[in-house]
Amino acid sequence: MQLSKELKSIPNMLSILRLLLVPVFLWLLIVDQLLIAFLVLMFASFTDWLDGFIARRFNQITSLGKVLDPSADRLFILATLIGLTVNEIIPAWLAIVIVARDILLLVGYPISASHGYGPLPVHFLGKAATFALLYALPLLLLADVWPSAEAVILPLAWGFAYWGIGLYWVAGFVYLAQLRQLISLERRSSPNI
C-alpha cells in the first residue's frame, strides 16, 4: 500500500519519467541526433529540479524517491558518458574515471546490506559532485552542438568536469569511511559470544 502511494507522488512520477527518458536520450546520442538529445537532457534536468522542489516544498520526500532520484541521475550520467564517448566528444579516460568510482561504491552496497543497512545518506560532497557532472556533461554536448560557441563553453565544461571528478572520488571515499565506521561501531556494540 505504501509503495503504491509513493509511486503516485508527483516527485516520484517525475523521477520515473526521467528514468524512462534515459534510453531515449542514449539512443539519440548514439544515432548522432545531438541537438534533440541535448533538448531531452535539458527537459530531464528541469524535471530533476522540479521533483526536488516539489518534494521539499510540499513535504513529499519518500523512501522510494530517495532511491529513484539518485538512480535517475546516475543513469543519465552513465548514458551521457557512453554517448559522448561513442561520438568521440569526450576521451574514454573521463568515462572510465567516473564509472570506476561507481564500481568501487557498488562493492560497498552488499556489505552495507549484509549488516542490515540500506543505502547510506547522501553526503553534500556527493550532491556537489553530481551537480558539477550534471553541468559538465551537457556543456560538453552543447559545445559539439554549437561549435561557434565552444571557445566559451569548453572551458566551463571542463572546469565542471574536473571539479566533478575530484568531488565524486572524495565523496566516494567519504561513503566508504561512513560504512567502515558503521560496521566498526556495530562490532564494538555487539556482545562477544
100-141: pLDDT as tens digits: 998 988 888 787 778 777 667 778 998 899 889 989 999 999
The structure's pTM equals 0.83
Q: Quick one: pLDDT band at residue 58, thresholds 50, 70, 90? A: very high
Same domain flag for 37 and 99: no
Residues 6+ positions from 101 with CB-CB distance below 8 Å:
168, 169, 172
| 80 within domain boundaries | no
Same domain flag for 95 and 23: no
| 103 within domain boundaries | yes
Domain span including residue 109: 89-193
pLDDT, tens digit, for every residue of 134-186?
899 999 999 999 999 999 999 999 999 999 999 999 999 998 898 888 888 87
